[in-house]
Chains A and B, each alone.
Chain A
Amino acid sequence: MHPAFSILFFTTLAGAAQGLVVLLALCVLLGVPLQPGFLPMALVVAGLLLIAGLGASFLHLGRKERAWRAVLMWRTSWMSREVIVLPAFIGLVALWWFSVQLGEAPRWLPLLLVPAALALWYCTAMIYACLRFIEEWAHPLTVVNFILIGLSSGLVLGCALAALAGDADLARVASPWALAATLVAWFTRHLTLRRNAGLRHRSTLQSATGIRAERLVQKSMGMSAGAFNTREFFHGASQLALKNIRLAFIGLCFMLPALLLVWAMASQTTLPLLLAALVQAPGLIAERWFFFAQARHPQSLYYQVVS
């Protein structure tokens, strides 16, 4: 598939914001002491990321003025469900920030935000996982990866914010959580890479055309220049670029942040936490780019040879 940057930014920004909100909610619920002022500051960061993500998803639409219509088909469409859950999540984050500003926030808010974040991750991932013939996506691991990578990026971001705000206690508590989430996410993403590498697609040129011949080749796709079908379903990058981006995202998204977190925990310093967030940001984009680029749509069987 062609990776659209609007979707790459939306899913990574919102995913990190959700992870950050889960971290804050867990800290409040488990009674981890936070520096005064840290919670509202971190909630503002999460809110800004979510709004930026929402803006990016808007840019994906051809007819933005009709975007409100996307809530209507929630009975059948995962995209519709996501469009409902995302503003609801933003609203809950805003409500929490507001009640923190007013004084003591009710406990049900953080308690509700954890399942809300999970629901949003689930809706986002199911948009891809429910397409049964895009076999790279149609697997429960897609959901697991969206949740774990979002959690990892949010926890790493939370550690970096704690480091910036000088909240050493929170950094000490959250670093092992971030490390655990990053390592588990690395493992499940690796499982997906391994599964996709050995994937044998069910559709073939023979099943696509019904022509039962052992040797069957396309001689013409029916047009000399491109069409929507040749643009939307192919990433346009070389095999070498694909391989390099795969290496880059494993290094930047999982390996380096994990090493930096270990360094931060061993040395009790905060600089590696900042570095981890900075290194992981491009890694997240690369990971999502690869997620789309690796998916092979069966329609591309019909568009292989110009003439």
Chain B
Amino acid sequence: MIQWLKDLLQPALNAPAPATPTVRALPGETLAKQLALVIDLNVCVGCHACVTSCKQWNTSGAAGPLADENAYGANPTGTFFNRVQTYESGSFPATETIHFPKSCLHCEDPPCVPVCPTGASYKRKEDGIVLVDYDKCIGCKYCAWACPYGARELDEERQVMTKCTLCVDRIYDDLLPPEDRKPACVKACPTGARLFGDVKDPDSEVSRAIRERGGYALMPEWETQPANQYLPRRITPPSGH
């Protein structure tokens, strides 16, 4: 009913129309392609290279600048799309240290999208990336409340919601050499703990890794169907046996 009004307003509001307009996925729609990260907890060493390269790329690119407040003070705070956390499992002496990178999981049923009152939050039909249109966001923070993973951060300077874009401004850039058309975090990882690809393609590297290594989703109890999955740690048998 209001679509005609939106269509009428659209050209005036978003002056530079994109060359290939992005089509929004409908709620509950099954997509043919879903780009995602698969994170190998077995080899992540917790170096935070993915965190800094993500920040560098995204603060300089189409998503940026990502605000840093009080950067040289006692309590610096800033906007990040990706964090590496550390957990300890088991009881001493049989403890394990697990480094755990965390960013937007690009859920197949993203709870953050339908709650957005302006339509700034959306899921792309062509590749399943969940994005925020920074020109439409009113900074009400409701989508951040609606994400069980805490994947969204309000940029305190621009007062709009920001999140991982899977480096959408990089992975399709024809000016980059093909091997560089990957998210910045994937390129930066020194141990190859981050795999990137289409989880709907059964022959892709990510699909094979999920299948063969027992990939799992975070908080399956909320049925958000996260596209990003994690590969569990596995015990490496001592060599020579």
Contact = CB atoms under 8 A, between A and B. Distances in A.
Interface residues of B, number: 67
A228 interface: yes
A210 interface: yes
A225 B77 contact: yes
Interface string B40-64: 0100000010010000000000000
Contact of A303 (B97, B150, B233): B150
A232 B144 CA distance: 9
A210 B232 contact: yes
B188 interface: no
B218 interface: yes
Contacts of A76: 27, 113-115
Interface in A191-226: 202-203, 205, 207-211, 213, 215-226
B221 A219 contact: no
B211 interface: no
Contacts of A74: 2
A129 interface: no
Interface in B90-104: 90-91, 96-98, 100, 102
Interface in B72-109: 74-80, 83-91, 96-98, 100, 102
A224 B51 CA distance: 14
B77 A220 contact: no
Contacts of A127: 142
A12 B96 CA distance: 49
B213 interface: no
A69 interface: yes
Given A215-B89, A218-B86, A222-B85, A70 B140 contact: yes
Contacts of A60: 140
A77 B88 contact: no
9 contacts: A62-B158, A66-B137, A69-B138, A71-B2, A72-B118, A78-B115, A213-B89, A225-B76, A298-B148
A302 B151 CA distance: 10
Query: SS class of chain B's interface: helix, strand, loop or mixed?
Result: loop
Contact of B159 (A63, A70, A303): A63
A130 B96 CA distance: 38
A24 to B, nearest CB: 30
A219 B87 contact: yes
Given A69-B138, A80-B117, A211 B85 contact: no
B136 interface: yes
Nearest to A213: B89
Interface stretch (A45-53, A85-93, A131-139): A131-139
B172 interface: no
Contacts of B35: none
Nearest to A300: B150
A222 B51 contact: yes
Contacts of A130: 115
Nearest to A132: B222
Contacts of B118: 66, 69-70, 72-73, 80
Contacts of B232: 210-211
Contact of B85 (A69, A207, A220, A299): A220
B139 interface: yes
Given A62-B160, A217-B87, A299-B150, A228 B140 contact: no
Contacts of B219: 133, 203, 207-208, 298
A67 interface: yes
Contacts of A297: 145, 148, 150
